[in-house]
Structure 1
Amino acid sequence: MAHSSQAVALGRRLKEIREANGLSQRELAKRAGVTNSSISMIEQGQVSPSVQSLEKVLGGIPMSLSHFFASVDGSAGDVFFNQHNMFKHEKPYGFMQVVGENLPTRKATLKHFYFDPQTDTGETPLMSPFDQSGWVSQGDIQMTIGAQIKELAPGEAFYLAAYTPCRLKNLSEFNSAQIIVATEVSPAL
């Protein structure tokens, strides 16, 4: 039986979505109220389901037809992160975690800086080639930018232009401090 390229692409996409949602063919079939063989034949590109049939199958995930076709290339990759799949970089002041650091096409970075009590980033100022914005989520941070020194409390924030040197210090003797920093990343040249 000849498989059309559209049926094969549709089947491949359904399989990606099913697996990304942790469903077996049997579980999806049960949820959608169709047979296992129907799911198998669609995923193998052996049949091209009608709009109504595909909508019924997607109802078992649940996912709308528009969402299914809007992301048909399947290139989303990792989109959710937790303590186990974020990179953790040990630092002299504590550690830093980066969301999506291993994604080759990322255009933004979200960093979580964790400062142990009375630690700082060191004598050598930190500097980024990108603009950055940050928000203190826990503790009191002393931030030095050039000749300016400012103490930031939880809920306070900052914005740094590219190549602005800065130093960060946790002022507490007993408590940790945390900062969330967002950075836009330019595409590789």
Structure 2
Amino acid sequence: MDTGARLKLVRERHQLSQRELARRSGVTNATISLIEQNRVSPSVSSLKKLLEGIPMSLADFFSFDAPPQQEPYVFRAGEQPDLGRNGLRLLLVGAPVPGRQMRFLREVYAPGAGSGEPIVHSEGEECGLVTRGVIEMTVDGAVSVLHPGDGYYIPTTLPHSFRNIGADEAEIISANTPANF
């Protein structure tokens, strides 16, 4: 998916200049220009901040102008937008569902890849199940190693992160509420 071209299309459809979007979102005009030229790839949090200036959710952004689905309750592998980067694929199931109350992801970690700095949300819960590989999970400073079949259920108000510590690709199927992206 061409994130830069999509951002430009969304911005122009909402009749916003780069300067106006920068003012509304608190992101510099230069950064927006670089993203739209695909010279930099925004993080999920940066893209979310930009979209708040439109306003638009990440799910709406990734399903913007998507062709109507023939099977409205089925989300094929190729129809799941990838919100990840740096060796982490975050495949969002149900992205075009209006008013989603839950985020459901297939998280695929390359060897050594992780979710980055510990994440904290103002509210919510997250649960997941490791389907393959070995995942190191850190919650509020406590480290656990999860293997296939192991699951977790955590309050997202605690800092948490995940990292593949195995030699092979690892996968987690996860869900959280509220649907924060």
With normalisation by structure 2, the TM-score equals 0.55
**Pair 1:106 & 2:100 matched:** yes
Q: 1:89 pairs with 73, 83, 87, which one? A: 83
Partner of 1:176: 169
The total of aligned residue pairs comes to: 109
1:162 to partner: Cα distance: 2.9
- CA 1:164–1:93 in 2, change beyond 3 Å: closer, same or farther? farther
Partner of 1:125: 118
**Pair 1:153 & 2:158 matched:** no
Structure-2 separation of matches of 1:90 and 1:184 = 19
Segments of 4+ moved more than 3 angstroms: none
Q: Contact 2:88–2:115 at 8 Å: present in 1 too?
A: no
Deviations 1:13-52 (A, max 9, x none): xxxxxxxxxxxxxxxxxxxxxxxxxxxxxxxxxxxxxxxx
5+ unaligned residues in a row in structure 2: which ranges? 1-70
Amino acid at match of 1:107: Q
Amino acid at match of 1:143: M
Structure-1 separation of matches of 2:84 and 2:125 = 23
1:186 to partner: Cα distance: 6.7
Amino acid at match of 2:76: N
Deviations 1:88-121 (A, max 9, x none): 1232232100111222222222111100011212
Amino acid at match of 1:132: E
Q: Contact 2:103–2:179 at 8 Å: present in 1 too?
A: no
Identity %: 22
Q: Contact 1:136–1:157 at 8 Å: present in 2 too?
A: yes
Q: Secondary structure at the match of 2:143?
A: strand
Q: Contact 2:134–2:170 at 8 Å: present in 1 too?
A: yes
Q: Which moved more, 1:125-134 or 1:176-185?
A: 125-134
Q: Contact 1:140–1:153 at 8 Å: present in 2 too?
A: yes
Report which of the two structures shows the higher radius of gyration computed on alpha carbons. Answer: 1
Q: Secondary structure at the match of 1:90?
A: coil
Q: Contact 2:110–2:170 at 8 Å: present in 1 too?
A: yes
For the aligned residues, what is the CA RMSD?
Answer: 2.0
Q: Contact 1:143–1:166 at 8 Å: present in 2 too?
A: yes
With normalisation by structure 1, the TM-score equals 0.53
Q: Contact 1:93–1:116 at 8 Å: present in 2 too?
A: yes
Amino acid at match of 2:112: Q
Q: Secondary structure at the match of 1:84?
A: helix
1:79 to partner: Cα distance: 0.7
- CA 1:121–1:162 in 2, change beyond 3 Å: closer, same or farther? closer
